[in-house]
């Protein structure tokens, strides 16, 4: 039986790192990327040699997305799971945020997923199975103060996910939009709130694993998670 493989972008911290660890613990070959891999070697050494491979990649740049896709196809052929997790958050309002915020967040949060999915899905279609998760946000559902271009980008990513689900539903590939609320990641660095006000990244990763583990006859189209006390405004 061929080794199952998971492609997880932005896998060196936060939700991405929790996903890398969860799928690796299940025996998957894991391929990931991030702009910086400093310190990630320590994670790789916790698993059998070569089980987790990483490529330094700036996912806001199409040429680097293409290079990562080529790396994935050379390593595993057709991935079993694709998790588009890479994202960036910069607070601001549409009228007040610096010029370039929209372009950066669209490039990172939407175009990276669009281009990587287009590069990898043809190989997944040859297998007739697989699962694509796009890490959206509760900001894909509800606009909030100071969300600016981040909300725009996450609304767009949810729209793309809905379209992809419709296009692939007869192919055997499942597509899920994951919309976490406030999760304890570096996006919240400097915020004066207790840790127990946030969801642990491992909880998000575990639920994604459970959704993947369902029968191929079932797909969770949208997965919404929030802290027990609700959104942070």
Catalytic residues: 150
Q: What is the largest CA-CA distance in the chain?
A: 55
Res 231: pLDDT: 86
Angle at 178 between CA 124 and CA 6, to 5 degrees: 35
Q: Could you give the CA distance from residue 187 to residue 195 in angstroms, rounded to a whole number?
A: 13
Q: Which domains does the chain have, with CATH numbers?
A: 5-225 (3.40.50.720)
Res 222: pLDDT: 98
Residue 108 pLDDT greater than 70, yes or no: yes
Question: Which percentage of the chain shows pLDDT scores above 70?
Answer: 97
Average pLDDT over residues 5-28: 97
Residue carrying structure tokens 């994935």: 72
pLDDT, one tens digit per residue, over 22-75 is: 999 999 999 999 999 999 999 999 999 999 999 999 999 999 999 999 999 999
Q: Output the CA–CA distances (angstroms, integers) from residue 228 to 19, 37, 126, 140, in the order listed.
A: 21, 33, 41, 19
pLDDT, one tens digit per residue, over 179-194 is: 999 887 776 666 778 8
Average pLDDT over residues 13-29: 97
Strand-pair category, 222-225 with 81-84: unpaired
pTM check: above 0.75: yes
Residue 139 pLDDT greater than 80, yes or no: yes
Res 187: pLDDT: 67
């Amino acid at each position: 039986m061929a080794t199952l493989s998971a492609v997880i972008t932005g896998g060196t911290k936060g939700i991405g790192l929790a996903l890398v660890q969860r799928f690796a613990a299940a025996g998957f070959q894991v391929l990931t990327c991030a702009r910086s891999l400093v310190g990630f070697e320590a994670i790789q050494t916790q698993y059998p040699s070569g089980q987790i491979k990483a490529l330094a990649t700036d996912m806001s740049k199409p040429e680097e997305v293409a290079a990562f896709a080529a790396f994935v196809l050379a390593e595993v052929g057709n991935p079993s799971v694709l998790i588009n997790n890479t994202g960036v958050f910069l607070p601001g309002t549409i009228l007040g945020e610096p010029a370039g915020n929209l372009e950066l967040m669209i490039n990172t949060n939407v175009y990276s997923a669009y281009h990587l999915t287009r590069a990898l899905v043809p190989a997944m279609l040859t297998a007739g199975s697989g699962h694509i998760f796009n890490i959206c946000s509760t900001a894909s559902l509800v606009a909030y103060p100071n969300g600016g271009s981040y909300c725009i980008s996450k609304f767009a990513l949810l729209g793309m996910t809905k379209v992809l689900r419709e296009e692939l539903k007869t192919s055997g590939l499942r597509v899920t939009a994951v919309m976490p609320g406030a999760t304890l990641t570096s996006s919240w660095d400097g915020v004066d709130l207790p840790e127990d006000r946030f969801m642990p990244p491992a909880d998000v990763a575990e639920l994604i694993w459970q959704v993947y583990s369902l029968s191929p006859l079932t797909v969770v189209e949208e997965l919404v998670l929030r802290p027990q006390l609700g959104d942070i405004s």
